[in-house]
């Protein structure tokens, strides 16, 4: 686990350049798109590594396959009205109804 604010057992974000090229499996959160680190992290991956983009912020788009991603796991809103009602009532992610979790695979 590479983190900006590591906890016990995590590695500092600065270790990415050293560790990711050695990994057989790399999981990158969708947040890497919003913080503009996705391109760099994907460039670090060994071409033979299995790369997954995952998490609630992951875009469920096969376009990621064009950039070396093997699987994308995220959330799809199936019932927007129900999901919005849950969010407006202060639900945390696990409490939101009207959504499903999906994985797209290359």
> Domain tally for the chain?
1
- Binning pLDDT at 50, 70 and 90, where does residue 3 land? confident
Tens digit of pLDDT for each residue in 54-97?
998 899 999 999 999 999 999 999 999 999 999 999 999 889 99
Percentage with pLDDT > 70 across the chain: 100
CA distance 92 to 52: 24
| CATH value at residue 80 | 3.40.50.11590
pLDDT over 90 (residue 13): no
- The DSSP symbol for 73 reads E
Token reading at 40: 């760099």
Of 66, 29, 26, whose CA–CA distance to 50 is shortest?
26
Domain range spanning residue 12? Answer: 2-105
Query: What pLDDT shows up at residue 100?
Result: 92
- Residue 28 in contact with residue 41, Cβ under 8 Å? yes
Q: What is the pTM of this model?
A: 0.83
């Amino acid at each position: 686990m590479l983190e900006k604010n590591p906890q016990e057992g995590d590695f500092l974000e600065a270790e990415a350049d050293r560790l990711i090229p050695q990994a057989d499996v790399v999981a990158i959160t969708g947040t890497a798109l919003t913080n503009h680190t996705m391109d760099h992290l994907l460039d670090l991956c060994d071409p033979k590594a299995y790369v997954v983009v995952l998490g609630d912020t992951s875009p469920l788009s096969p376009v990621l396959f064009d950039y070396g991603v093997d699987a994308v796991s995220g959330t799809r809103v199936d019932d927007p009205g129900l999901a919005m009602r849950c969010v407006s009532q202060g639900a945390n992610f696990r409490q939101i109804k009207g959504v499903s979790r999906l994985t797209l695979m290359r």
